[in-house]
């Protein structure tokens, strides 16, 4: 099986300042995200090795590790893509995604409030997601999902349109314990062009 790979960020390390500092972005991408990629590959290798030798394996343990690391890798890949510099001109929601948000949540303000509350209220480490479920009803449905760690609470068949990492490593050096302030500032660097692209696909 092909190895999981850490891609470069789609922008420079300073480009999300002042909302996310270069220091945090470097640690987050080069250390934390890399650790999930490495963890996924190590778990995958254990499975392949056991398969090759027709050996026993502690499936419960190795699959738990694999799920945590693969989900961590995919969420971080998505997280980097759904952000862009506050000067990029991509930070205003518009078009089809804004229409869908207004329809599903009643208003943009309501959506923002629900998403922010979801992120704020994650117990310990986790994520807030905006997802799309195309099998749900005639036009599909937008959902807000709260994830613990990287993988607890995920629904199957939901395409991730937007995600926000609220692990302490995502904000502590910049905001200390003020997760709410991080979330409030993060809205300035959402890449709505990318979110809409993911929604249309």
Task: Report residue 85 as tokens.
Answer: 């510099």
Given the complex with Mn ion, which of 77 and 165 has the nearer CB atom? 165
Question: Cβ-closest residue to Mn ion?
Answer: 165
- CB of residue 72 vs Mn ion: minimum separation in angstroms? 7
- CB of residue 151 vs Mn ion: minimum separation in angstroms? 13
> Which residues in this chain contact Mn ion in the complex, by CB under 5 A?
165, 167
Given the complex with Mn ion, which of 41 and 78 has the nearer CB atom? 78
Given the complex with Mn ion, which of 46 and 149 has the nearer CB atom? 149
- CB of residue 1 vs Mn ion: minimum separation in angstroms? 24
Given the complex with Mn ion, which of 36 and 199 has the nearer CB atom? 36
- CB of residue 160 vs Mn ion: minimum separation in angstroms? 14
């Amino acid at each position: 099986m092909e190895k999981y790979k850490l891609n470069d960020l789609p922008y420079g390390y300073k480009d999300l300042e002042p909302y996310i500092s270069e220091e945090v972005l470097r640690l987050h991408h080069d250390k934390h995200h890399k650790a999930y990629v490495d963890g996924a590959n190590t778990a995958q290798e254990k499975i392949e090795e056991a398969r090759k030798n027709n050996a026993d394996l502690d499936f419960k343990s190795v699959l738990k590790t694999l799920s945590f690391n693969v989900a961590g890798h995919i969420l971080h890949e998505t997280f980097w893509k759904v952000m862009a510099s506050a000067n990029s001109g991509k930070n205003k929601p518009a078009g089809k995604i804004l229409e869908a948000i207004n329809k599903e949540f009643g208003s943009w303000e309501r959506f923002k409030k629900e998403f922010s509350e979801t992120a704020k209220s994650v117990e310990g480490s986790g994520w807030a997601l905006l997802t799309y479920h195309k099998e749900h009803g005639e036009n599909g449905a937008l959902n807000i999902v709260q994830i613990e760690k990287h993988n607890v609470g995920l629904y199957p068949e939901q395409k991730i349109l937007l995600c926000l990492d609220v692990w302490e490593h995502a904000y502590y050096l910049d905001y200390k314990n003020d997760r709410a302030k991080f979330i409030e500032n993060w809205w300035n660097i959402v890449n709505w062009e990318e979110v809409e692209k993911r929604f249309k696909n």
